[in-house]
Structure 1
Amino acid sequence: MSAFPTVASPASSLLPSSASPPPTSGSTRPPSAFDASTLRNTGAALLHGSKLVLAPPHALSLDELASLLLQERISSLWLTAALFEQMASLQPSALASVSQLLAGGDALPPSRVREHLSRLPLGHLFVNGYGPTENTTFSATFPLRHGDSFSLTEKG
């Protein structure tokens, strides 16, 4: 058994590992032409012993993505705002099993974020990421955990 996390394409796992954790993995499937593919292609986690799990080469249904998350024990995942909203609504248990979830690229629905946070086990992390195309992937991130609260302020 590896002492390092596992990564799946959709994303790399950057979580520190303990002495003998179970294998973990991350997942993402952005098109290679999309800026977020740079997150998928980062090799830092692989250089530190993580495992890369490749998703099947077809568009996954929400059920297939949920199965992949659970079967491969994905520990790190990047989702677009739209896919996060669908998974949080229709596959909440599978999504909550991911110990480090990054979602963004557009405004995340606050109600779905709150619902997701309420399901997170202790130690799991949800990161709201934002960044315009010109900045490649994320310019700003906001980490949240179970029990955290947030408020929205409107731009004027």
Structure 2
Amino acid sequence: MKDLNHYVDKYKEQLKNGDIQEAYVGLVKYVTRLGTTLSKNLSEHYSFGSLFQGYMDYTYFYYSNDFLKKRKLKMGLVLNHSKMQFEVWLLGQTIPIQEKFWEYFKSTKWNKDRTTRPQYSILETVLIEKPNFNDLEKLSKQIENKLVSVTDEIIEDIKKSKLT
């Protein structure tokens, strides 16, 4: 295993180049604006939380409604940096809640090909696999439309589960 100094040297090399900082700042600014836009456009359906920048792994914010809150659940809109894709996650307020809903969702289409619960969530699904960051307005509309349809579908599955 390489020591920390090795990784720090590689990190410094990349920082000198400057591209990583530009990309990261641009992505975080975009997701921040996206959260504001969604909060404005979808305020009748969901309440949106603040942005979490993560550790260059995930940038995300939570959103929820009364139905989800009553069940101690929330959704997350996540920019997965390593895969560079937008995802929607269903999350539980506590590990026992996540495990309870995982028992139901592990045999649904949402967790097809998964044998273990995701590390941070009950389910994770791709919203936009290859985002085009050169047309942010179009990307935002795509995300908004898919977010609404996917979230509605997940909520319908929660209703079918009869879990409270």
Q: TM-score, normalised by structure 2?
A: 0.29
* Higher gyration radius (CA): 2
Q: TM-score, normalised by structure 1?
A: 0.30
